[in-house]
């Protein structure tokens, strides 16, 4: 655990409000070690648990992670089942610890296609979260940014809301309704794309890319990303002052 208020150039007393992470590189991490891809996902799940705990400890308000995309269903069945099995394991642990740790959870994505067991666990975490204050971890499962926008457009059209919509009125129909947009979006793994993640919400997020594979990502890497964010001037299309 990193306890310094200034670490890797990051001021941990002046955090972004919301950090989003594309957890990329599990398969390549495993391949480099001669292990099956499923071993990489298991290692990545442990990294998520550690990073989420650290984010809570330093006082971050919101953390959003890309756990399973709408495109991930095209991966080999064994790999898909491993990812969903790890999610089930994590949810069992979270339900036991959420109230003690003061961590809320929310899920973005179409969870209706998940197993009844997973849906029940997600419903339990939702119920517990409504009783809590504190850090909120948003987990994107069966999530795609384009799918989210199309779904929101259909729901808005059916709602009877005035046309045309405003950004504010439209955003209430996104899975992320009532959650502030991410300030910082981090992608480990050496790729330089958003991969259909938070396309609406990340319009003005600061992007940070690193070659570090997700299972090797740690608190020090988080501090480097936060430090890079803190060195930037966020202008939102305006002229620099």
* Annotation says 196 is catalytic: no
What sections of the chain are H helices per DSSP? 26-32, 37-58, 77-101, 116-129, 145-159, 167-171, 219-230
Q: How many CB atoms neighbour CB 152 within 10 A?
A: 20
Q: Is 72 labeled as catalytic in the residue annotation? A: yes
Give the CB-side neighbour count of residue 119, counting CA atoms within 13 A. 7
Nearest alpha carbon to residue 103 among 128, 125, 127, 136: 136
Cα R_g (the chain), whole angstroms = 18
- Return the H-helix or E-strand segment holding 141: strand 135-143
Catalytic residue among 57, 72, 101, 196: 72
Residue 121: name the closest of 108, 107, 132, 109 by CA.
107
Question: What Å distances lie between residue 109 and 5, 14, 90, 213, 227, CA to CA?
Answer: 35, 30, 18, 24, 30
Q: How far apart are CA 217 and CA 198, in angstroms?
A: 21
Residue of 4, 14, 24, 57 marked catalytic: 24
218/106 Cα distance (integer angstroms)? 23
Q: Which residues are catalytic?
A: 24, 72
């Amino acid at each position: 655990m990193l306890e310094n208020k200034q670490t890797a150039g990051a001021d941990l007393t002046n955090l972004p409000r919301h950090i989003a992470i594309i957890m990329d590189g599990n398969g390549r991490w495993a391949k480099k070690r001669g292990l099956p891809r499923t071993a990489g996902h298991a290692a990545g799940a442990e990294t998520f648990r550690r990073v989420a705990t650290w984010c809570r400890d330093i006082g971050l308000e919101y953390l959003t992670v890309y756990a399973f995309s709408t495109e991930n269903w095209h991966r080999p069945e064994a790999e898909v089942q491993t990812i969903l099995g790890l999610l089930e394991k994590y949810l069992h642990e979270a339900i036991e610890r959420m109230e003690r740790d003061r961590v809320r959870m929310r899920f973005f994505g179409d969870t209706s296609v998940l197993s009844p067991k997973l849906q029940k666990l997600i419903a339990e975490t939702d119920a517990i979260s409504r009783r809590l204050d504190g850090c909120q971890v948003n987990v994107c499962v069966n999530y795609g940014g384009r799918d989210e926008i199309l779904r929101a457009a259909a729901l808005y059209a059916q709602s009877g809301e005035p046309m045309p919509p405003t950004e504010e009125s439209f955003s209430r129909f996104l899975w992320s309704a009532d959650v502030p947009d991410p300030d910082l979006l981090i992608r480990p793994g050496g790729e330089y794309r958003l991969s259909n993640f938070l396309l609406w919400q990340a319009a003005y997020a600061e992007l940070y890319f690193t070659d570090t594979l997700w299972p090797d990502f740690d608190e020090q890497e988080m501090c480097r990303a936060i430090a890079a964010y803190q060195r930037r001037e966020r202008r939102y299309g305006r002229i620099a002052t």
